[in-house]
């Protein structure tokens, strides 16, 4: 740039000479040269400021073609990667380039992160078992028998597996699909890295089964919105992982970023997103392979550090995937939650809130909306594209109070 500026200043000074020169004949040659030099320098300045893009422009600007000119331009400043980064990136690249294992039985791992018993186990049981839950008239008692299950349940055995991380107390189970499915758990504190540790623990256990191809993280207050086949086909045939990810320039987004994460995590790559992911096997594997970025979030993204309230489970995976495989994630979560009240916690549904209309509303949403936490409260709206086709965004929803179970059982009727 310095050189170009020099030329420009020079040429402007030269031009000022032109009108003022009286001895025209004797100066004829120098003026001609000066004019030519000015023209060339102007040309070079233009070429520098507006680098050619099309082939025609290449031809005009350089006889050696585009390549020569591109080489002439200074390279974009690139940071030299640290040893740790190079080690991580080669491992990630090879995992991402490995084609999925072809197994006869591709399963979805449903991973439940809960303090203790799961209030919606009965609903999940119905989801996995796929029984018609019908309001049938019981002739013996002369009343409507709501709990009547047909004997002809078509189970989805072999197409799913269940993992439970119960951090506080041993759950009591009512469904056989959940019996003995607890993994060894650890303490989970809200906002702390122990939340991410629990997610990684669940992924590690679920990855032990080579038939698990897709991994869904769910909380105790999550419920399914569609029947098993719908969920199975939606996830198994999607070409991305559903990891929520967006830029929040406000205090609850970028305001939580710490420069102590440099050089590996730059502010421009810092992202936010809901914790409830669903991911393909390769993505679960790169999460296992990552210790570099994990350690930066463990050490520098925590509540109270430098007066910031960084929540690792809301930033680590969104930032990680944005850096490693941005095109491989959908940028929204398949678990619906209602933040429209704009309070500290999302809306929690009571029994009276659970209606056919509410469920229809949630299942028909096909736009994902992110609201930034700055004063402008900008809405970032994005169509939910599933393999390029606009589809409903959500397969699961939270947060529901345990009291909603019976109503959900009746209304969902998978
Ligand atoms: C998600 O966002 C990233 C930019 O952060 C973009 O590159 C990617 O294509 C998006 N994914 C989809 C499926 O649109
Ligand atoms: C469903 O959506 C409609 C239209 O947006 C809205 O008017 C209605 O209040 C919603 N109902 C519930 C129960 O959320
Ligand atoms: C997923 O499929 C859509 C539609 O074919 C395509 O546009 C998109 O690039 C694919 N994404 C990936 C990560 O393969």
- Ordered by start, the domain boundaries in the chain are 99-330
- Cα–Cα nearest to 237, from 106, 147, 371: 106
| Neighbouring C-beta atoms of residue 335, cutoff 10 Å | 25
Which ligand approaches the C-alpha of residue 237 most closely? 3
Measured CA to CA, the distance from residue 366 to residue 274 in angstroms comes to 17
Which ligand approaches the C-alpha of residue 280 most closely? 3
Contacts of 352 (CB under 8 A, 6+ apart): none
Please calculate the CA angle 388-223-405 and round it to the nearest 5 degrees.
150
| Protein residues with CB under 6 Å of any ligand 1 atom | 240, 322, 326-327, 329-331
The fraction of the chain above a pLDDT of 70, given in percent, is 76
Give the tokens for residue 408.
């959900």
CA of 308 to the centre of ligand 2 (A): 37
Strand partners, 329: 241
Q: What is the pTM of this model?
A: 0.78
CA of 246 to the centre of ligand 1 (A): 9
CA of 48 to the centre of ligand 1 (A): 31
CA of 213 to the centre of ligand 3 (A): 18
Contacts of 366 (CB under 8 A, 6+ apart): 383, 384, 390, 391, 392, 393
Contacts of 327 (CB under 8 A, 6+ apart): none
Q: What is the mean pLDDT of the chain?
A: 83
| Neighbouring C-beta atoms of residue 348, cutoff 10 Å | 14
Q: Using omega within 30 degrees of 0 as the cis cutoff, is the peptide bond preceding 399 cis? A: yes
Whether the pLDDT of residue 7 is over 50: the answer is: no
Contacts of 412 (CB under 8 A, 6+ apart): 123, 126, 223, 224, 225, 359
21 close to ligand 2 (CB < 6 Angstrom): no
Pocket test residue of 337, 357, 404, 407 for ligand 2, highest count of atoms within 8 A of CB: 357
Whether the pLDDT of residue 412 is over 60: the answer is: yes
Measured over the CA atoms of residue 363, residue 369, residue 370 and residue 374, the dihedral's sign is negative
57, 43 Cβ separation under 8 angstroms: no
CA of 35 to the centre of ligand 1 (A): 50
Q: How confident is the model at residue 148 (pLDDT cuts 50, 70, 90)?
A: low
Contacts of 185 (CB under 8 A, 6+ apart): 165, 166, 167, 198, 201
Please calculate the CA angle 231-236-238 and round it to the nearest 5 degrees.
100
Whether the pLDDT of residue 15 is over 50: the answer is: no
CA of 99 to the centre of ligand 3 (A): 16
Whether the pLDDT of residue 179 is over 70: the answer is: yes
Contacts of 97 (CB under 8 A, 6+ apart): none
Q: Residue whose CA is closest, atom 1 of ligand 2? A: 361
Give the tokens for residue 90.
């080669």
Measured CA to CA, the distance from residue 284 to residue 86 in angstroms comes to 20
Task: State mean pLDDT over 200-204.
Answer: 98
Task: State mean pLDDT over 392-412.
Answer: 96
Give the tokens for residue 237.
């045939």
Whether the pLDDT of residue 27 is over 90: the answer is: no
- Cα–Cα nearest to 36, from 24, 18, 60, 50: 18
User: How many CA within 13 A on the CB side of residue 148?
Assistant: 13
Measured CA to CA, the distance from residue 7 to residue 39 in angstroms comes to 10
Strands of the sheet containing 335-336, edge to edge, are: 223-224, 396-397, 335-336
Task: State mean pLDDT over 110-139.
Answer: 80
Q: How confident is the model at residue 377 (pLDDT cuts 50, 70, 90)?
A: confident
What are the distances in angstroms from CA 200 to CA 185, 251, 271, 286?
Answer: 11, 27, 19, 11
Query: Atom of ligand 3 at shortest distance to CA of 240?
Result: 13
Q: Choose which CATH entry (1.10.150, 3.40.50, 3.30.230, 3.90.550) describes domain 99-330.
A: 3.90.550
Q: Using omega within 30 degrees of 0 as the cis cutoff, is the peptide bond preceding 263 cis? A: yes
Q: Which of 58-67, 69-78, 261-270 has the lowest mean pLDDT?
A: 58-67
Pocket test residue of 237, 388, 391 for ligand 3, highest count of atoms within 8 A of CB: 388
| Neighbouring C-beta atoms of residue 75, cutoff 10 Å | 7
407, 400 Cβ separation under 8 angstroms: no
Strand partners, 368: 382
pLDDT digits over 317-359, tens only?
Answer: 999 999 999 999 999 999 999 988 888 889 999 999 999 999 9
Q: Residue whose CA is closest, atom 14 of ligand 2? A: 358
Measured CA to CA, the distance from residue 93 to residue 278 in angstroms comes to 20
pLDDT digits over 211-236, tens only?
Answer: 999 999 999 999 999 999 999 999 99
Residue 326 main-chain phi, psi, to 5 deg: -60, -35
Q: How confident is the model at residue 38 (pLDDT cuts 50, 70, 90)?
A: confident
Please calculate the CA angle 159-162-165 and round it to the nearest 5 degrees.
160
Q: Residue whose CA is closest, atom 1 of ligand 3? A: 387
């Amino acid at each position: 740039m310095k050189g170009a500026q020099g030329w420009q200043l020079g040429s402007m000074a030269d031009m000022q000479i032109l009108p003022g020169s009286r001895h025209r004949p004797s100066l004829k040659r120098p003026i001609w040269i000066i004019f030519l030099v000015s023209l060339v320098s102007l040309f070079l300045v233009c070429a520098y400021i507006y680098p050619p893009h099309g082939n025609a422009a290449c031809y005009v600007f350089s006889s050696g073609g585009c390549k020569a000119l591109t080489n002439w331009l200074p390279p974009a400043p690139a940071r030299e990667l640290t040893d740790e980064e190079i080690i991580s990136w080669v491992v990630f690249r090879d995992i991402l380039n490995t084609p999925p294992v072809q197994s006869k039985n591709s399963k979805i791992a449903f991973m439940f992160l809960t303090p203790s018993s799961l209030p919606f186990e009965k609903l999940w049981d119905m989801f996995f078992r796929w029984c018609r839950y019908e309001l049938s008239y019981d002739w013996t008692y002369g009343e409507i028998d709501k709990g009547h299950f047909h004997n002809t349940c078509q189970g989805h055995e072999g197409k799913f597996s269940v993992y439970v991380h119960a951090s506080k107390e041993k759950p009591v189970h009512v469904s056989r699909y959940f019996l003995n499915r607890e993994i060894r758990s650890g303490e989970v504190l809200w906002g702390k890295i122990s939340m991410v540790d629990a997610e990684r623990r669940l992924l590690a256990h679920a990855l032990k089964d080579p038939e698990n191809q897709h991994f869904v993280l769910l909380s105790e207050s999550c419920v399914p919105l569609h029947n098993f086949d719908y969920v199975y086909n939606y996830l198994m045939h999607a070409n991305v992982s559903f990891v929520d990810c967006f830029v929040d320039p406000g205090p609850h987004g970028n305001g939580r970023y710490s420069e102590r994460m440099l050089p590996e995590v730059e502010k421009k790559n810092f992202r936010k997103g809901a914790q409830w992911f669903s991911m393909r096997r390769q993505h679960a594997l790169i999460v296992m392979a990552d210790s570099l970025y994990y350690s930066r979030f463990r050490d520098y993204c925590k509540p109270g550090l430098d007066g910031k309230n960084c929540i690792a489970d809301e930033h680590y995976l969104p930032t990680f995937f944005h850096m490693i495989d941005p095109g491989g994630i959908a940028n929204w979560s398949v678990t619906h939650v209602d933040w429209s009240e704009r309070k500290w916690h999302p809306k929690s549904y009571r029994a009276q809130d659970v209606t056919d209309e509410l469920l229809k509303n949630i299942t028909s949403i096909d736009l994902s909306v992110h609201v930034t936490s700055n004063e402008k409260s900008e809405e970032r709206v994005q169509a939910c594209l599933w393999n390029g086709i606009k589809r409903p965004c959500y397969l699961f929803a939270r947060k529901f109070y345990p009291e909603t179970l019976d109503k959900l059982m009746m209304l969902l009727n998978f």
